[in-house]
Amino acid sequence: MRFEQYCVLKEKLLACAVLPDGRKSMPQPAPLVLAYLGDAVFSLCVRERLAAAERGKVRVLNDVGAQIVCAAAQASALEEILPLLTPEETAVVRRGRNAKSSVPKNATLHEYRQSTGFECLLGWLHWRGDSGRLCFLLDRAFCFLIENLRKRAID
């Protein structure tokens, strides 16, 4: 993307971001934008839950949080909740998983695609305002990931 194009897109974003009804007047975002939103939703959920359990040791919070929000962990969380998803939710995961993006060095292509699908689902549920379903799936994913970390710590 050229710098001029970037500046135009940035200005458009900043102009739209101040709309009072935000989501209501905008169409549903693209899968990678939903994944961007879902990443923030998942990170906040993990941080809130960990902070409730440990009040003083930020290094421990950060280390455990990083292990939970990494692409490999999110991919395994998706595998865990996949049987619980509705056909519509499964389609959202598929769109997120198939979205074209660059893969970071610390994840395999499969892990990254799966984690993007997981984040896209969370972003989509948040965008729709379906907090009940979002909380249910986040709880299942979080508990599964914590159990995996506990098992690895014992081994």
Known catalytic residues?
A: 39
Phi and psi based region of residue 129 (left: phi greater than 0; alpha: psi -120 to 50; beta: remaining): left
Tell me the C-alpha to C-alpha distance, in Å, between residue 56 and each of 59, 68, 69, 97.
Answer: 9, 19, 21, 37
Provide the sign of the torsion angle of the four alpha carbons 73, 76, 80, 84, taken in this order. Answer: positive
- Which tokens sit at 98? 């198939």
Answer whether 37's CB lies under 8 Å from 130's CB.
Answer: no
CB-side neighbour CA atoms (13 Å) of 109: 4
